[in-house]
Amino acid sequence: MVSLDSRLDGIVGGKTAKALGKAFEMRTVRDLLWHIPRRLEDKGELTDLSRLRVGEHATVLARVESVNAATYLARGRRATRTEVIITDGAHRLVMTFFRQPWQAKHLRPGTVGFFSGKVDTFRGRIQFQHPTYELLGPDTDSADPLELTDEAIKRWWPIYPATAQVSSKTIGKAVERVLDVLGEVPDILPDETRDALGLVTLDQALRAVHQPADREDWQTARHRLAFDEAFLLQVALAMRRWLAMSMTAVARPHRSDGLLVRFDDRLPFELTPGQRQVGDLLRAELAAEHPMHRLLQGEVGSGKTVVALRAMLQVVDAGGQAVLLAPTEVLAGQHHRSVVALMGDLAGAGTLEAAPDATAVALLTGSTPAGERRAILNGAASGAIGLLIGTHALLEESVAFRDLGLLVVDEQHRFGVEQRAAIVERAGYTPPHVLVMTATPIPRTVAMTVFGDLDVSSLHDLPAGRVGTQTTVVPAAERPDWLARAWGRVREEVEKGRQAYVVCPRIGGEPDAETADPPDDDFVPRRAPLAVADVAAQLLSGPLSGLRLYMLHGRLGSEEKDDVMRRFAAGDIDVLVCTTVIEVGVDVPNASVIVVLDAERFGVSQLHQLRGRVGRGSEPGLCLLVTDAPEASPSRARLSGVAATTDGFALADLDLRNRREGDVLGAAQSGRRSSLRLLSVLDDAELIATARETATALVEGDPLLDRHPLLAAEVERLVEQEQAGYMEKS
């Protein structure tokens, strides 16, 4: 008998094992058995062909309706083209074979079979081109059962994620060989846990998910395996929380006569109730002797930066240092300017203008000049710099601190867990407190799944005086007059003394990627995404001529980017044509209108972030989403959803429904993307919550899993996957 860790090549044969390894990185029995069928086909019910998506590799169960062969001239020679139409009874799909006339003999009308291929379109019809197939014989309801093979009699057919090189049938055959020789699979769940939740054993689940007796049997197996995914992840997170709580941190209590009090006295605005509530919570957690690990999520413009700065000043008052890590140089520079402006002479330590007991605030990015960089590194190591703001440059080993008390990570979804840890480890044996922030509200299930090692706080209310932003979809292809009016509105706002952003999905100058569509004379490829350089030139010579228009994008040098942003913030630039480099953190209250071109190419959260760049002052904001997407398309519906609400928490759910699970979880979260094969953060909220509660209780009673060695081994495997994923992305 073989085990889950047995190699495949000794069981399924070298050729099949090699193909599985190349296509899916399968090496062991475990790898193969956790390649779960995406659906179960009932041979008595044909596949609904209307659910196919262009571009996917699909396997369908259908009946041949008609076969037509024709000849044509190709390079002066006669060739054949065989067109086979298959049906589910209501919808049809075309299968095309070139130079294979014998297909007409095999694919006779009435024949039922499984057909696999990449879904394409040809002249408005969906099609498979050169598909593979396996026939089940003629209409089996009227055939003599004694003449049917075992495969034809088999009713329930698992359909696996497949490729053009490795079919669902090949995977199914390999699974059958493995299950025939597999010994009983030991269960990782404690018996009492499994019994309390009414789950089948792991051995039963693995066999039933591949060879079910019926659809209910298959669903029961999938439920058990989905629970395992949620449970393993929640156990890992619970252990991480337990470890954090068991560690000792330096308490950073509030001082009644420190920088924070003087900073609060100088604030030119009132803190919102939400800012005060979260601030009080952070004050208490920073004063504790175990490290804080908190996620602060809030609406665009809700004032998270001020909350974070107040926490940083409390740490500086207590003798420590604080770091703010930002994903881009533009955002890091914006934070540095904002902090220095808000603190005034409180940030001027080492200068003649410094206030008593002031601290030093520094900015470190990849573009910081060598001499300045050395001075900053020395200041961080000696403790002379109290607040250090920067980008990934802060992750380098040369960066050291005298007494790191607080790490603040802005727009945390741009960073992985291990990248946070890279700075935390610089604090030595006493870990710092950690505050991570996002302006992209996170659905509860995602928070439990991806950020389960953090406590979560939310900011809902906006600062006083904000009047909000109106969002309108501009269908440029259908209503070119609306696009002309959009540029007119930009000019009107500038004439009133305000400023505007124009956002493009591409910089320009790089080769344009062509859409991968089948060659056809009737096909007109979609134009390339609009580019900053092209749009800027068109606007300057057209609707926005005479205005002070500049470009901003990631290819500009650091000094040039910083100069453009300073001039825009000072009001010396009317219109900024840019990429999403201004997506987060850029705060110019005088900017009142933003035009997003090719808006259908941006995600829901990204559009919400971009919209947050306007309406930040006393004037109302205007966001214009320009699109060529047809009115009835999903892209247009998504844009209409963004326009319908400014509630970021409602948009987070819309985003979750419109994006793939892996995109929501984020590649930066390392192995978690690949480890969640069955679990849906959209549909499995109750299961995730149950897994979290169960895992938390188990870890509280057995923090190191000493009494559960099989579970401990699986958790270690998950953590190793996560770390391997991080190393690949580093």
Percentage helix, strand, coil for the chain under 3-state DSSP, each rounded to 5:
45, 20, 40
Q: What is the pLDDT of residues 282-320, one digit of tens each?
A: 999 999 999 998 989 877 777 888 999 999 999 999 999
E strands, 376-444, in order? 385-390, 404-409, 433-438
| Predicted confidence (pLDDT) at residue 252 exceeds the cutoff of 60 | yes
What are the structure tokens assigned to 157, written together? Answer: 């057919």
Q: Which domain holds residue 486?
A: 469-645
723 or 701, which is more confident? 701
- Kindly state whether residues 333 and 473 are assigned to the same domain: no
Residue 513 pLDDT: 36
End-to-end Cα separation, the chain, in angstroms: 40
Residue 166, domain member (yes or no): no
What are the structure tokens assigned to 618, written together? Answer: 């006393």
Which residues, listed in sequence order, are joined to residue 112 by a DSSP beta bridge? 63
- Kindly state whether residues 510 and 632 are assigned to the same domain: yes
- Kindly state whether residues 523 and 422 are assigned to the same domain: no
- Kindly state whether residues 551 and 430 are assigned to the same domain: no
Residue in this structure with the two tokens 């569509």, named with its chain if needed: 517
* Domain final residue pick, 159, 180, 213: 159
- Kindly state whether residues 274 and 323 are assigned to the same domain: yes
Q: What is the pLDDT of residues 445-463, one digit of tens each?
A: 676 666 667 788 888 777 7
Angle between helices 329-343 and 259-266 (to 10 degrees): 90
Residue in this structure with the two tokens 């040039």, named with its chain if needed: 560
* Domain final residue pick, 159, 181, 212: 159
| C-beta of residue 220 within 8 angstroms of C-beta of residue 40 | no
Torsion of the alpha carbons at 342, 344, 347 and 348, rounded to the nearest 10: 160
Average the pLDDT over 334-358 and give the result: 88
| C-beta of residue 272 within 8 angstroms of C-beta of residue 233 | no
Backbone angles phi, psi at 118, to 5 degrees: -90, 130
- Kindly state whether residues 371 and 433 are assigned to the same domain: yes
Residue in this structure with the two tokens 């710092």, named with its chain if needed: 432
Instruction: Count the domains in the chain.
Output: 3
Most confident listed range (86-90, 143-147, 412-416): 86-90
DSSP string, 68-81: EEEEEEETTEEEEE
Surface-to-core class of residue 15, CB atoms within 10 Å of its CB (0-12 exposed, 13-18 middle, 19+ buried): exposed
- Kindly state whether residues 306 and 429 are assigned to the same domain: yes
* Domain final residue pick, 115, 143, 159: 159
Contacts for 103 with CB less than 8 Å, ≥ 6 apart = 67, 82, 84, 97
- Kindly state whether residues 517 and 579 are assigned to the same domain: yes
E strands, 236-299, in order? 293-298
How does the average pLDDT of the chain come out, rounded?
A: 84
Q: What is the pLDDT of residues 534-586, one digit of tens each?
A: 999 999 999 999 999 999 988 888 788 888 988 999 999 999 999 988 876 67
Q: How confident is the model at residue 156 (pLDDT cuts 50, 70, 90)?
A: confident
Where residue 512 sits, what CATH number does that domain have? 3.40.50.300
Whole-angstrom distance, CA of residue 233 vs CA of residue 675: 9
- Kindly state whether residues 306 and 388 are assigned to the same domain: yes
Which residues, listed in sequence order, are joined to residue 73 by a DSSP beta bridge? 78
